[in-house]
Chain A
């Protein structure tokens, strides 16, 4: 790959997804574009780039973006945020004064759905505490391939053995051939939809709680700051945002502050207290 081709591809990926790939990531392009080359019958990356330069939208462009997303995820990833959700965040939402209607939770980089379904299973476990309260979980992602898998609710034996306690597997999945399929009750609690975090959040409505984990790490600070601002707008005052274990708001935004007790949880700063830009 020539430096010019790399410049073009990384600029294209950044514009379309926010994902920032420094030039030490040339190997990522080289390995991940292999299937795209064969699907679109290009002999090499140079030919792909020539075609992409002519048109930066359409199926080729979409496939290139999809190929450059990292969809790695697992059930109950890092465990702790999910313990916080079950023990503190969900009970907190239920106890909120003046609460009415469904509780809306957003899995903002849902990938293949494990995060959204983990939350749904915890809500099913909390049925008693929920009483009649409905929970709506929305999972969104940029990658159509990942979303299609999330929609199917179908996981391999390997995937259900990463993070998912066996009791949960027995309770909420059925076996189909070599795969495991999430139960209709859990499936019905979650909706998936294609969504780019670079776009306006307003079509999605507002949320009581947002999980935005392990996606901001791929973005530059400016993109992070812009997304934090939109996340804040989508939450009520004191609303909670859950980030990945390697992510933080420190030094990036004052629209969220650390939760006083719970690690990895960030609280929207009240409008009156934040220096709004």
Chain B
């Protein structure tokens, strides 16, 4: 079973994402901001990270830049999931090492398509 860390400051979104990901056979952990996510990743790197952009303390982009500098920080497949849906944000996310990008609102079909895209689902 693959693991996915859901990073979002909205409890509602984390819950929706968790349900979808569990249906797709992932074991799910949650973090409410980039700092919590980084702390989790220092203990154990998940296979996938579903990452919001705008969050208090450490935002999604800052987290991603920090993660990619960690030992084995390149391992997790990072899928941004954000309401920031313009080209500028997308380009910055890719440059920082994001593997895919979901523009909110999302549903099960989009998550499944994007996770398949990056090889997280066969």
Q: Which residues of A contact B (CB under 8 A)?
A: 157-158, 161-163, 165-167, 169-170, 173-175
The 9 closest A-B pairs by CB, nearest first: A166-B101, A161-B110, A166-B100, A170-B90, A162-B113, A170-B91, A157-B103, A175-B87, A175-B86
B36 within 8 A of A: no
Size category of the binding interface on chain B: 10 to 19
Contact of B87 among A162, A167, A174 (CB under 8 A): A174
A interface footprint on B55-88 (CB within 8 Å = 1, 0 otherwise): 0000000000000000000000000000001110
CB distance from A245 to the nearest CB of B (A): 14
Do A162 and B94 contact each other (CB < 8 Å), given the known contacts A174-B87, A175-B86, A175-B87?
no
Q: Is A165 touching B100 in the complex (CB atoms < 8 A)? A: yes
Docked pose: A253 CA to B110 CA in angstroms: 38
Contact of A161 among B91, B98, B102 (CB under 8 A): B102
CB distance from A165 to the nearest CB of B (A): 6
Q: In terms of DSSP, what is the predominant structure of the interface of chain B?
A: helix
Residues of B within 8 A of A158 (CB): 110
* Known A167-B94, A170-B90; 19 more pairs at CB < 8 Å: A161-B102, A161-B103, A161-B113, A161-B114, A162-B110, A163-B113, A165-B100, A165-B117, A166-B94, A166-B98, A166-B100, A166-B101, A169-B90, A169-B101, A170-B87, A170-B94, A173-B87, A175-B85, A175-B86
Docked pose: A167 CA to B98 CA in angstroms: 10
B109 within 8 A of A: yes
Q: Is B90 touching A157 in the complex (CB atoms < 8 A)? A: no
Nearest opposing residue in chain B for A157, CB measure: B103
User: Can you give 8 contacting A-B residue pairs, CB < 8 Å?
Assistant: A157-B103, A161-B103, A161-B114, A162-B109, A163-B113, A163-B117, A169-B90, A169-B101
Nearest opposing residue in chain A for B91, CB measure: A170
Residues of A within 8 A of B98 (CB): 166
Residues of B within 8 A of A161 (CB): 102-103, 110, 113-114
Docked pose: A161 CA to B87 CA in angstroms: 14
Docked pose: A25 CA to B68 CA in angstroms: 53
Nearest opposing residue in chain A for B107, CB measure: A158
CB distance from A173 to the nearest CB of B (A): 8
CB distance from A46 to the nearest CB of B (A): 37
Docked pose: A139 CA to B22 CA in angstroms: 40
Nearest opposing residue in chain A for B93, CB measure: A166
Q: Is A166 touching B90 in the complex (CB atoms < 8 A)? A: yes
Docked pose: A167 CA to B87 CA in angstroms: 11
Residues of A within 8 A of B101 (CB): 166, 169
Nearest opposing residue in chain A for B101, CB measure: A166
